[in-house]
């Protein structure tokens, strides 16, 4: 099938630089972009609506569909943050583990479908989603619903890290070899599935939950198979202190560099407690920061895109599973950076759009993504710029970053499949998907340990 889409504005590249072209047609044939032209092409389906901004499909390289659904609306305003600590070890990890234990495969699939729906409705065409082992349904939902998916099941040296009543962390268990075996089995089943849309990433959970032997082994396995490596790094002061105590005063970045992981294939999430020297080291090694500003802002912590970029670190923007509104996340990255650095000219609209298109595509080694040129994959995000809050419109990029949100997403294509049309998912009943996912999460909320975790 062929589809022609009219773009009042088209995000393009000329001589390697981002630009906006006016009044272009994009022709999709099968899974690929066949042409970009000023003349209207012949096609089976024609989408000819004025005021549309056609972008390469937005890429979200750090997301937690499953665990963030458990936390949604219960961890705002400081709720569940014992002694103002992170909710990672009090809510997200323990309750996601319990959910795996009590939910049926169909219930886990319902949560996964809900997460994929949120991503697509938010304009995301590609996602790297990290989750505990035991949720293969994440791959099933991605294959079924059409999104481009890098599944990142965790590997742990200790999967039982718990914040104790006295404020100290307890690290227990030894899950590394079992987790790696599970990763290999998933790789054998899913790598390249769904006409090449499904892939695996290697995801050692964090520097404090993964020891040296596991990290070296996991990295070697990933590099043998050409898989990206993603890890949480310097996401809290407690993590930094733990690594320093264990490893001769090293920072998390120095720890990973010592082990040979700090390299161009490393995607390091958050890095908010990295030093300036750490960031310079990351830039020198070619590693990437996955910047998720809003999830930290809700806890009163600054995660500024512009700080990482200023040190020359390749930086992309992702949602961390929080809200799954990529346009809203880009707006937050812009605003928080300007406040943090006290400058209006940082985290600009062109920089941020590159961060979730061309730069993100380079991070995962996919030059056929993040661009709209003949031969590229037909992954497109189309935004309706005619909404009142975007009028009058002088600059579509600035308008998009400063004023648009997920409600302005009009069309989403992945591999040429039209997954969102006029703002609605085309391949299923949205209300039914949302109801089933919410009902499954409610079963976790009903657990006694969940009620205890969410206490003020």
Across 374-385, average pLDDT: 98
Q: φ and ψ at 231, to 5 degrees?
A: -150, 150
pLDDT band at 27 (very low <50, low <70, confident <90, very high): very high
52-97 tens-digit pLDDT: 999 999 999 999 999 999 999 888 888 887 655 778 888 888 899 9
Which residues contact residue 121 at a Cβ distance below 8 angstroms, ignoring those fewer than 6 apart? Answer: 324, 406, 409, 420, 423, 425, 430
pLDDT band at 162 (very low <50, low <70, confident <90, very high): low
Among 372, 382, 291, 379, which Cα is nearest to 330's?
Answer: 291
83 burial type by CB count under 10 A (0-12 exposed, 13-18 middle, 19+ buried):
exposed
The tokens describing 85, both together, are 């600590």
Q: What's the pTM value of the predicted model, to 2 decimals? A: 0.96
**Looking at domain 1-456, what is its CATH homologous superfamily?**
Metal-dependent hydrolases (3.20.20.140)
89-132 tens-digit pLDDT: 888 888 999 999 999 999 999 999 999 999 999 999 999 999 99
Radius of gyration in angstroms for the set of CA atoms belonging to the chain, rounded to a whole number: 21
Residue 124 has a pLDDT of 98
Q: φ and ψ at 133, to 5 degrees?
A: -60, 145
pLDDT band at 176 (very low <50, low <70, confident <90, very high): confident
323-362 tens-digit pLDDT: 899 999 999 999 999 999 999 999 999 999 999 999 999 9
Residue 82 has a pLDDT of 67
Residue 203 has a pLDDT of 98
Residue 84 has a pLDDT of 58
Give the lowest-confidence range in 65-74, 387-396, 440-449: 65-74
Domain ranges across the chain = 1-456
What angle, 0 to 180 degrees and rounded to 10, lies between the N-to-C axes of helices 93-102 and 430-445?
Answer: 110
Residue 291 has a pLDDT of 98
Q: What angle do CA 416, 421, 423 make, to 5 degrees?
A: 130
The tokens describing 377, both together, are 């994959």
298-317 tens-digit pLDDT: 889 999 999 999 999 999 99
Contact 272, 315 (CB under 8 A): no
* Mean pLDDT across the chain: 94
């Amino acid at each position: 099938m062929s589809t022609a889409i009219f773009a009042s504005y088209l995000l393009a590249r000329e001589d390697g630089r981002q630009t906006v072209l006016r009044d272009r047609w994009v022709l999709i044939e099968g899974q690929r972009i066949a042409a970009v032209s000023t003349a209207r092409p012949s096609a089976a389906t024609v989408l000819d609506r004025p005021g549309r901004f056609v972008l390469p499909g937005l890429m979200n390289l750090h997301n937690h569909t499953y665990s963030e659904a458990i936390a949604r609306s219960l961890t705002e305003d400081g709720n569940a943050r014992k002694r103002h600590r992170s909710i990672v070890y009090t809510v997200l990890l323990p309750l996601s583990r319990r959910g795996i234990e009590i939910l049926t495969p169909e219930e886990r699939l319902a949560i996964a479908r809900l997460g994929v729906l949120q991503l697509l409705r938010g304009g995301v065409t590609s996602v790297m989603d990290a989750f505990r082992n035991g949720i293969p349904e994440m791959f099933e939902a991605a294959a079924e619903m059409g999104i481009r998916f890098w599944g990142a099941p965790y590997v742990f040296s200790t999967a039982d890290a718990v914040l104790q009543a006295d404020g100290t962390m307890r690290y227990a268990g030894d899950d590394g070899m079992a987790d790696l075996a599970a990763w290999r089995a998933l790789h054998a089943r899913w790598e390249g599935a769904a006409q090449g849309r499904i892939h695996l990433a290697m995801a050692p959970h964090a520097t404090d939950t993964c020891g040296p032997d596991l990290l070296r082994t996991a990295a070697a396995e990933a590099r043998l198979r050409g898989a990206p490596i993603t890890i949480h790094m310097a996401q809290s002061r407690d993590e930094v202190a733990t690594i320093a105590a264990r490893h001769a005063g090293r920072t998390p970045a120095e720890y990973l560099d010592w082990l040979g992981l700090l390299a161009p294939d490393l995607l390091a999430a958050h890095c908010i407690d990295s030093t300036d020297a750490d960031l310079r080291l990351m830039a020198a090694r070619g590693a990437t920061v996955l910047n998720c500003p809003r999830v930290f802002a809700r806890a009163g912590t600054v995660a500024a895109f512009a700080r990482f970029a200023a040190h020359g670190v390749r930086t992309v923007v992702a949602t961390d599973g929080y809200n799954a509104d990529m346009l809203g996340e880009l707006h937050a990255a812009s605003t928080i950076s300007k406040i943090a650095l006290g400058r209006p000219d940082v985290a600009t609209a062109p920089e941020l759009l590159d961060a979730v298109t061309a730069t993100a595509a380079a991070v995962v080694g996919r030059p056929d993504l993040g661009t709209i040129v003949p031969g590229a994959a037909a992954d497109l995000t189309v935004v309706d710029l005619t909404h009142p809050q975007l009028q009058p419109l002088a600059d579509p990029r600035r308008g998009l970053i400063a004023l648009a949100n997920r409600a302005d997403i009009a069309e989403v294509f992945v591999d040429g499949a039209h997954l969102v049309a006029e703002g609605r998912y085309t391949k299923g009943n949205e209300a039914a998907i949302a109801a089933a996912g919410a009902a499954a999460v409610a079963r976790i909320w009903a657990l006694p340990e969940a009620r205890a975790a969410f206490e003020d």
